[in-house]
Structure 1
Amino acid sequence: MDLSSFYSLMAVTCFTLVGLWWTVVERHPEWKVDRTRRRLAGGVYLSFLLPGLMSMFAQVDTGNPLIWRTSFTAAALIGIVNTVQLLGVDDAAQRGPFRRFRGLVALIYAVIAVIGLFPAVSSVADWTPLQAAALALILLVVLAHGLAWEFMMEHDEPSNAASD
């Protein structure tokens, strides 16, 4: 599959998953009133939205790498900040394997940021920068699926965090 087709398919897939996640959240009004659950649901949302946005920007002008490099770096930085914040609020008792290793999400976002800032690093593995970033996006979406599953399967008891 050529990279243009890959990024097109990835964008469509991610935005479809965003829409499906909206449906899940709509069916759980208790998540909206519990601050911790709202933040965790928002983290899942960003786990689908950011790869979708990066995939769209990768297709804007393939002759101008500054567009994808800038957008990948910016989206990755947003992903890192959001993920690190979620590490501090996620209840350890509720964590399954994906939530226990949520830090890997931040690491993958960091790899994407490095590829955006220093695309030559991907040549170490004999890949183009967009190939390396594509592999990282696949990993992000796989982890997002696991995070979504675990979040949906936790008990309906409210967390200890204050509601607002």
Structure 2
Amino acid sequence: MDVTTFYAVFSATCFTLVGLWWGVTLRDTAWVADPVRRRAIGGVYLAFLLPALMGLFAQVGGVEQPLVWRLSFIVIALAGLASTLRLLSTDAVPAVRAVRAGTAAAYVLVALVGSFPGLAEPVGLRPIQVEALLLVLLVALGHALVWHHLVHETVTDAR
């Protein structure tokens, strides 16, 4: 699959996940009423929205205009990092903290590869391909957060 096709499919998938997550959060209004939960579910929302936005910018800039995707990846990754660090400082569950720490590390790597594309050379991939792999990792970590919220809520509701 070429990079342009990957980012087109990836963005569409991430935007679909954003919509699905909205549907999940609407099933229980208590999630939105509680400020702590609201921040946590907002973090899941960003776990899908930010990679989707990066995917769109990768399509706009593509290989021909790398400055477009590189700058957007840096800015969006820094926003994601700030949000993730804020959530990380309030998470009490060790598994969630580990996922958030992995997410923070992935955002740092996205920003670094965007800033210094030569970092991709040792792995034999183009920088935009390395970024694609990191975005897949971000979405996988987002899925881990979804799993936690769904299982945690099920266990809480069963009491």
Task: Report if TM-score (shorter chain) is over 0.5.
Answer: yes
Alignment TM-score, normalising by the size of structure 1: 0.89
Residue 50 of structure 2 corresponds to: 50
SS state at 1:101 partner = helix
User: Which residue in 2 is equivalent to 1:129?
Assistant: 127
How far, CA to CA, are the matches of 1:88 and 1:31 in structure 2?
Answer: 20
Q: Which amino acid aligns with 1:19?
A: G
* Paired residue total: 154
Partner residue, 1:112: 110
Decide which structure has greater helix share: 2
| 1:78-100 superposed Cα distances (whole Å, 9 cap, x missing partner) | 111011111111222xx4x3543
- Deviation per CA, 1:9-64: give whole Å up to 9, x if none: 10000000000000011111001111110000000000000000000000103211
User: 2:35 matched to which residue of 1?
Assistant: 35
Q: Indicate the structure whose relative CO is greater, using CA pairs within 8 Å and at least 6 residues apart.
A: 1
Q: How does 1:6-155 map to 2 (within 5 A)?
A: 6-62=6-62, 63-92=64-93, 95=94, 97-155=95-153
Structure 1 runs of 4+ off > 2 angstroms? 97-101
What is the alpha-carbon root mean square deviation over aligned residues? 1.4
Matched letter for residue 10 of structure 2? M
